[in-house]
Amino acid sequence: MYRTPRLFLFAAPLAAVPGRAVAAGMPQLNFHDPLLIGQVVWGAVIFGGFYLALSRFALPRVERVLTNRRTRIQNDLDVARKAKAEADRASAELLSVRHEAAEQARAHVERIQSEARANAEAHAAETAKRLETEIANAETRITQSREQALSSLSEIATSTTQDLVSRLIGTQDEQTVASAVKRVSA
Amino acid sequence: MTGEASVAAGSTIDALGQFELHPVLGHLGEALRFSQSPLFMLIAAAVVLVFLYVGMRPAAVVPGRLQAAAEISYDFVHDLAVSTIGENGATFFPFVFAIFFFILAGNYLGLLPFSFTYTSHIAVTFGLAIMVFIISILASIRFQGVGFLKHFLPAGTPVWLAPLLVPIELISFLSRPVSLSIRLFANMVAGHVLLEVFAGFTIMLAGLGAFGHVLAIAPIAINIALTALELLVGVLQAYVFAILTCIYLREAVAH
């Protein structure tokens, strides 16, 4: 059931192109064929047109896009580099300003500290001086009181001794008692 | 490979029929000698130009896939031209680009079923090679004047060797377009003949019944592998053609 159509198929090209199967030689070398030379002439025309279309329109278009990209990337890189330099400069500036401020603050703190120290020292010295004068005052007062006490002591001792003597012996000699007390207390 | 279905006629395989030229567009095509070969040249040129046009239409700074592909093709050929030819490479870059993509598109379009491979015609490849040859001679005269002829006697050779060396150098110079064209032509023909032969095996085996159906898998598998190989050969031959063009041009512009 397969035979008939297949046989027909095989026979069809034989009938359609008689003698082709036995035709010797390559069609490419059949230089009598006007189509063979025709394709060379057509080929020259088509290749020429192809070359012109490529060199005038197609390839410059690609070139433009590639150049655009290159310049754009270059520009972007330049912009980025410039921005980086600017940022670096700003950051350096910030650092130096911060450093300066820290220096100032330290100097300020030191000044205040030394001021406070000087104040405290002055205060302490003043207090010491006041205390010294007070101590001196007190000492003079003590000395005065003692002298006073010592000076009234001979009086008290004399009067006490007179009283004692008058009680003991019923009589007294003021001069004698006074000189005796003076002798004892000296 | 035009009409793989009509390949196997009985027990013979017509591997060369795919290279035959037929007029397209009826009588007009016949009158203009316009066969499927120029038709596919037009398609190839259009495909490349549309690829570049559509790919570069966004013109984005960050390219999409198609734009990246277009830019990579540009950069690839540009680097090839500039690194091989030297400082004048940029002048010849559009020419090298046209050569490379004309051949590459022709090779790859030819791998599509029912298409035609114009790079499998010696007339076409020889035409391209002669064009490269003439342009390199013109570039030699332009950049070096008539003095480029002294290259036929390598510097430092004794004068008495000149009668021997000059013809050798001349022959090697003149054989450039021949080797350039035959390399591409032979590679493309061989690949397409192989594809056609194995496709023919598949059809012949299928005619043997159920057993043949199983066996027919083998040539199909081989054809898949061959197609992969042809994808490699297609880009490789285009690259070889382009880099040899660059080398000839470098000699032309070198002082």
For residues A11 and B30, which has the higher predicted lDDT (pLDDT)? Answer: B30
B21–A33: do the CB atoms touch at under 8 Å? yes
B118–A54: do the CB atoms touch at under 8 Å? no
Q: Which of A50-64, B2-16, B88-102, B150-164 has the lowest mean pLDDT?
A: B2-16
Any B CB within 8 A of A39 CB: yes
B165 to chain A, minimum CA–CA distance in Å?
A: 33
What part of A 117-136 touches B (C-beta under 8 Å)? none
Q: Which residues of A touch B53 (CB under 8 A)?
A: 58, 61
Of all residues in chain A, the one with the smallest CA distance to B4 is A13
Any B CB within 8 A of A12 CB: yes
Q: Which residues of B touch A6 (CB under 8 A)?
A: 207
Q: Is the pLDDT of residue A166 over 50?
A: yes
Structure tokens belonging to residue B229: 């190989």
CB-nearest to B6 from A13, A27, A31 is: A13
B248 to chain A, minimum CA–CA distance in Å?
A: 19
Cβ–Cβ under 8 Å, residues B55 and B70: yes
pLDDT, tens only, A115-129: 999 999 999 999 999
Structure tokens belonging to residue B91: 């002048």
Cβ–Cβ under 8 Å, residues A43 and B118: yes
Structure tokens belonging to residue B144: 């070096």
A42–B37: do the CB atoms touch at under 8 Å? yes
For residues A107 and A149, which has the higher predicted lDDT (pLDDT)? Answer: A107
Provide CB contacts within 8 A for B3, sequence distance 6+: B17, B18, B114
Give chain B's mean pLDDT: 86
What average pLDDT does the segment B49-53 reach?
A: 92
Give the Cα separation of B96 and A55 in Å (integer).
Answer: 11
Q: For residue A161, name the pLDDT band (cuts at 50, 70, 90).
A: confident
A82 to chain B, minimum CA–CA distance in Å?
A: 22
pLDDT at B2: 41
B10–A16: do the CB atoms touch at under 8 Å? no
Any B CB within 8 A of A55 CB: yes
Nearest 10 degrees: Cα torsion B136, B141, B145, B150? 50
Cβ–Cβ under 8 Å, residues A73 and A65: no
A79 to chain B, minimum CA–CA distance in Å?
A: 17
A71 to chain B, minimum CA–CA distance in Å?
A: 11
Q: Is the pLDDT of residue A22 over 80?
A: no
